[in-house]
Amino acid sequence: MLRQADNSVKIEGVLAEVDIKQSQFTYDGQVKDAIGGKILVKVNQKIGGKPMELMVPVYCFATKYTKKGTLNPAWESINRLMTEFVSIAAAGGEEKADRIRIPKGDIRMNEYYSPDGKLISYPRIHASFFNKIKKEDCNSEASFILQFAVASMSDETDRNGEPTGRTVVKALVPQYGGKVDVIPLIAASPNVVDAITTYWEVGDTVKANGRINFSSMTEIVYEEVDFGEPVEKVRTVNVSDLILTGGSQTPLEGEFAFEKADLDAALAERKARLEGKRDKDMSATSSRKTPLQKPKAGFDDLGF
């Protein structure tokens, strides 16, 4: 089975919001206690030399007891976060809010289908353990280290088809249980773009580090009318970019490399899983379905 990749996220910042609840669910005929939800962490860091203020959402979930029947340390950590940590929203300001450290999160893809059958796919951060730290000990950052196989590299274009100067790397990241995620990574600086396009090739297993840019920005768009001046509108654009800042120049080899056959098998499983999810998502919104195509799953077929 495809081994799990090195997938590590570190976040330090100010706890902005907490939306966590205790719940119950039934599994194999047994009622399980659980806890989960989402928090927002305010992070100030430089990306490409530019100071950025980010609101990074972090998702969490844990059952109360382990398979051995002992209290789950992850449940304890999340419950302590819910009951003891003070957020900006709860304190009414940043000064009295707690500083938080997430030493080991991970990146996963959230994927679902819209009512018109379009696959919506974007990265999310998950974590199980949270530490409260002193204000003076907080080194605000949201960074990642990721091991992956290079599926493709392409020039990014904007809505008008114009090149942005950035390169998009589609990374095949083996997750727990032999599943694989297709995670988009962004090479933004000219030095990084030059390095990866020079040294990386499709199929290589590499390791890279980077910065998380989960933020919102406003932009002005102009809507044409039948006569007269265009109507000016302001809209909010959510950004979920994983920005590459460095990595390995030469590919990993031997036991550290992912085998193409194993990746192809995991991609085929992913494709079948997404097709099943499409059926489920579409049946919830419409009785009409578009016939599904079933081409071969491989490096050139990522389910998009």
**What are the structural domains, with CATH classification, of the chain?**
7-131+139-283 (2.40.50.140)
Q: pLDDT tier at 40 (50, 70, 90 boundaries)? A: very high
Task: Give backbone dihedrals phi and psi of 277, rounded to 5 degrees, phi first.
Answer: -70, -35
Q: Is the pLDDT of residue 190 over 90?
A: yes
The reported pTM is 0.87
Measured from the Cβ of residue 150, the count of other Cβ atoms closer than 10 Å reads: 21
User: For all residues of the chain together, what is the average pLDDT?
Assistant: 90
Identify residue 42 by its one-letter amino acid code. K
DSSP 94: S
Tens digit of pLDDT for each residue in 48-73?
A: 899 999 999 999 999 999 999 999 99
Q: Residue 147 in contact with residue 7, Cβ under 8 Å?
A: yes
DSSP per-residue string spanning 252-278: P-GGGSPPHHHHHHHHHHHHHHHHHHH
- 212 close to 125: Cβ distance less than 8 angstroms: yes
pLDDT of 85 higher than 60? yes
pLDDT of residue 297: 46
Q: Is residue 135 scored above 50 in pLDDT?
A: yes
* Statement: residue 173 has pLDDT above 50: yes
Q: Is 95 left (phi over 0), alpha (psi -120 to 50) or beta?
A: alpha
Whether residue 47 is predicted with pLDDT greater than 70 in this model: the reply is yes
**pLDDT given at position 225:** 75
For residue 182, CA distances in Å to 146, 218, 265, 299 come to: 12, 28, 14, 10
| Integer Cα distance of 146 and 169 in angstroms | 13
pLDDT at residue 218, rounded to an integer: 64
In whole angstroms, give the CA distance from residue 87 to residue 154: 40
109 pLDDT higher than 80 = yes
Q: What's the average model confidence in pLDDT over 24-49?
A: 94
Number of other residues whose CB lies within 10 A of the CB of residue 223? 8
Does pLDDT of 295 surpass 50? Answer: no
What is the structure's pLDDT at 93?
95
Q: What is the pLDDT of residue 286?
A: 57
User: What values do phi and psi take at 297, rounded to 5?
Assistant: -95, 125
Helix (H, G, I), strand (E, B) or coil at 97: coil
- Between 156 and 116, whose confidence is greater? 156
Quote the radius of gyration of the chain (alpha carbons, Å).
21
Q: How far apart are CA 258 and CA 173, in angstroms?
A: 10
Between CA 62 and CA 79 the distance in angstroms is 10
Q: State residue 15's pLDDT score.
A: 98
Q: Give the residue-averaged pLDDT of 85-89.
A: 97
Residue 89: count other Cβ atoms within 10 Å of its Cβ. 14
Helix (H) or strand (E) holding 96: none
Q: Is the pLDDT of residue 290 over 60?
A: no
pLDDT for 92 equals 95
215 or 218: which carries more pLDDT confidence? 215
Please state, in angstroms and rounded to a whole number, the distance separating the CA atoms of residues 73 and 87. Answer: 22
What residues contact 65, with CB distance under 8 A and at least 6 apart? 32, 33, 71, 72, 75
Alpha carbon of residue 73 to chain centroid = 24
